[in-house]
A and B are shown apart, each in its own frame.
Chain A
Amino acid sequence: MREFFRSSAVRVALAFVLATTVATTAVFALVYFQIGAANEARNRLILEDEAAKSVNRSIDELRNAFEVRMTHDLRRLDYAALFGADRKILFGNIDVLPAISLDGKSHYVTASRAPGGDNRLEPAIFVARERPDGTILLLGRSLLETLAFRRIVQSALATGLAPMLLLALAIGAFFARRASRRLTTIHDTIALIMKGDTHLRLPVRSRNDTIDKISRDVNLMLDEIMRLLVQIKGVSDNIAHDLRSPLAVVHAQLERGLESSGDEQLRTVVKQALTHIDKAMLTVSALLRLADVEYGPKSSKFRPIDLSAICTDLFEFYEPLATSKSIHMTLETQSPVPILGDGDLMREAVSNLIGNAIKFTPEHGTVSVSVTQEDGRPVVRVRDNGIGVEPGERDKIFQRFYRTASGHRVPGSGLGLSIASAIANLHDFDLRFDDNDPGAVFEMAGRKK
């Protein structure tokens, strides 16, 4: 039960009931006071006006008028009397002059004897006014009606509020129960997902309320987490595979070394083993590097750098390598191409692209590097006419450890493009592959702002 009251749904229901009560009471209170006040103000005006008009009438006229009033116009005047200068009643339906000033203004009297002789006391408004002949005119209006009306409003509130509260409570409880049932379902589903039923998703109805929206977001998040998990699993498989092969070779070589008879043979085996260990270390270093880039420098550390200068520098660095493979290398720059970034990282990214291009281009091929501004966006293109990428492999080349079937013959960690892609991403650049037919174009372009 405590659990029940602690659930936010129940609290919402109770708050709903409370709010309903307050609002209803407020409306009734307004009606209650407003009606009383308006009625009273109007009565006061009528009385004062009547008294003013009656001041100069003759006594006979008054007597007649009173009688007509008393019998025909009960709605407006309940009391009318004329008192002598000695404050004794001359005629009228009230015996005693109430203790109010004779100023022609209306006064509230809490309890005055009701007209007609019975001994009821009632609240009323009186106006008293001295006439020129010394007599005193008294007019009054009972407030009994207003009071009765107020009482009706009060009892209406009393009898109406209770069922309304019950109704609000019932509605609130209904919604609370429904909401809490949905929350319980969500809670249970999450518990199951955490236990390992990763294929489960939160229920989403077609109605699209807040809970549905949040459920949908959570589902999307779960999908993304699952995608990453699968990716990580794939990556770990790849890591395991990429490390296992050289380790297996090393293992075999060292075993052979143990059984070897001569120093020379042992030395050869050790050398071969070292080569494979180096390969494994290359992989590990590249992986660490990738992690550094992905969880690496924040863009707050970026400084203005010139892409054009970076590419020119790298072009000069790589050109001798290209020449040694009889590859023709060209550079097209539009100096300067300023961006905000990390110079070391950008250099690394472009270096990977140019290095790759040279690696995968046969003798007498061409590798061209261009840096341009297109529509205000900086663009680096590295184009070669080498072996290119098979259509089926194009979306895989940026994945970790992916090496194309033809690329497997070329040494490397298989992480170069992943690193370049991560660096591009960090700089709000996109790294894309295009077919150069034959060969490849890698385009690294700033995203549209």
Chain B
Amino acid sequence: MTKTTSTRAQTILLVEDEAELANEIKIELDRLGYLVRTASIAEAADAARVGDAAMMIMDRIVFGEDSLKTLEVLRKEGVKVPVLVISALSSIDEKVHGLKVGGDDYLTKPFAMVEFVARVEALMRRLDDVRTTKLRVGDLEMDLIEQTVYRGDTKIDLLPREFKLLEYFLRHPGQVITRAMLLEEVWQYHFSLETNVVDVHISNLRKKIDARGVPSLIVNIRGAGFMLSANA
């Protein structure tokens, strides 16, 4: 699986005062090949300033202190390190606030580790803001200007939402994408669902983009979500 390729010696700073959760996070990310260092808010901020962090994971409230304040300061100073905010504060207002002051993603506790890892991977592999006009995986090509999708020579007609869905997968090839991520990014729905609507949308998309006789481009990752095979 993709996990064998992820031996990147990049430091992820973890600001989290719940020792057990911090430990679990560290073990999981270690296993994926990331270097994780736990830090206080001040330490993390200093490391980020000198470019010593590939990413920061911040608990919203650490030892009674609001870490978003530090984040806001960092962003004002122009520090661009990707930041994932994790928090027990789950209202949409809090989420919006977290993203507004400079968080790149906001995950509410309690979360499943697969969800957490997917968010971390998405941020770690986030492409720098390159203005790509074409996205491609194997013989599937999407033209963002023309708003067209081709599989080989065959043009594929997609509904607007299906187009957005596929675009999201193409922007994150080889990464685990959770249902919650799709809901947030493709539909802008910030609530959890008790139905498998997303799976139905994926299966409809598959029917349109998959070619006969070859495995589907989008695979199910059990207990986690979906993934667009990078080397199809």
Query: Which residues of chain A in 11-29 are interfacial with respect to chain B, using CB atoms and an 8 Å cutoff?
Result: none
CB-CB nearest in chain B for A411? B194
Min CB gap A399→B, angstroms: 17
Determine whether A264 belongs to the interface, using a CB cutoff of 8 Å to chain B. no
* Chain B contacts for A285, CB-based, 8 A: 90, 108, 110, 192
Known pairs A320-B197, A355-B194; A289 contacts B189 (CB<8 A) = no
Known pairs A289-B90, A292-B91, A347-B189; A412 contacts B112 (CB<8 A) = no
Count of chain A residues near B, Cβ 8 A: 36
* Chain A contacts for B195, CB-based, 8 A: 321, 355, 358-359
From A296, A301, A316, A351, give the contact of B189 (CB < 8 A).
A351
- The complex places the Cα of A359 from the Cα of B194 at a distance, in Å, of 9
Among the stretches A100-108, A242-250, A274-282, the one at the interface with B is: A274-282
Decide: B200 and A412 in contact? CB cutoff 8 A.
no
Decide: A324 and B191 in contact? CB cutoff 8 A.
no
Query: Which residues of chain A in 296-329 are interfacial with respect to chain B, using CB atoms and an 8 Å cutoff?
Result: 296-297, 301, 313, 316-318, 320-321, 323-324
CB-CB nearest in chain A for B91? A292
Min CB gap A402→B, angstroms: 15
Query: Which residues of chain B in 67-113 are interfacial with respect to chain A, using CB atoms and an 8 Å cutoff?
Result: 88, 90-93, 108, 110, 112
Decide: A296 and B91 in contact? CB cutoff 8 A.
yes
Query: Which residues of chain B in 45-82 are interfacial with respect to chain A, using CB atoms and an 8 Å cutoff?
Result: none
Determine whether A375 belongs to the interface, using a CB cutoff of 8 Å to chain B. no
From A292, A323, A358, A412, give the contact of B90 (CB < 8 A).
A292
- B183-225 Cβ-contact flags toward A at 8 Å (1 or 0): 0000101111111110011011000000000000000000100
* Chain B contacts for A345, CB-based, 8 A: 92
* Chain A contacts for B110, CB-based, 8 A: 281, 284-285
Chain B interface secondary structure, helix, strand, loop or mixed?
Answer: loop
Determine whether B125 belongs to the interface, using a CB cutoff of 8 Å to chain A. no
Determine whether B161 belongs to the interface, using a CB cutoff of 8 Å to chain A. yes
Count of chain B residues near A, Cβ 8 A: 24
* Chain A contacts for B223, CB-based, 8 A: 271, 274
- The complex places the Cα of A296 from the Cα of B92 at a distance, in Å, of 9
Determine whether A416 belongs to the interface, using a CB cutoff of 8 Å to chain B. yes
Query: Which residues of chain B in 154-200 are interfacial with respect to chain A, using CB atoms and an 8 Å cutoff?
Result: 161, 187, 189-197, 200
CB-CB nearest in chain B for A296? B91
CB-CB nearest in chain B for A286? B192
CB-CB nearest in chain A for B110? A281
- The complex places the Cα of A265 from the Cα of B223 at a distance, in Å, of 18
- The complex places the Cα of A313 from the Cα of B189 at a distance, in Å, of 11
* Chain B contacts for A301, CB-based, 8 A: 93
Decide: B93 and A348 in contact? CB cutoff 8 A.
no
CB-CB nearest in chain B for A349? B191
Determine whether A288 belongs to the interface, using a CB cutoff of 8 Å to chain B. yes
25 pairs, A vs B, C-beta closer than 8 Å: A271-B223, A282-B194, A284-B110, A285-B90, A285-B110, A285-B192, A288-B90, A289-B90, A292-B90, A292-B91, A318-B197, A320-B197, A324-B203, A342-B92, A344-B92, A345-B92, A347-B191, A348-B189, A348-B190, A351-B189, A355-B197, A359-B194, A359-B195, A412-B194, A413-B194
Which A residues lie at the B interface, using CB under 8 A? 271, 274, 278, 281-282, 284-286, 288-289, 292-293, 296-297, 301, 313, 316-318, 320-321, 323-324, 342, 344-345, 347-348, 351, 355, 358-359, 411-413, 416
What 7 A-B pairs are tightest by C-beta distance, nearest first? Answer: A292-B91, A348-B191, A412-B194, A321-B197, A320-B200, A321-B200, A355-B195
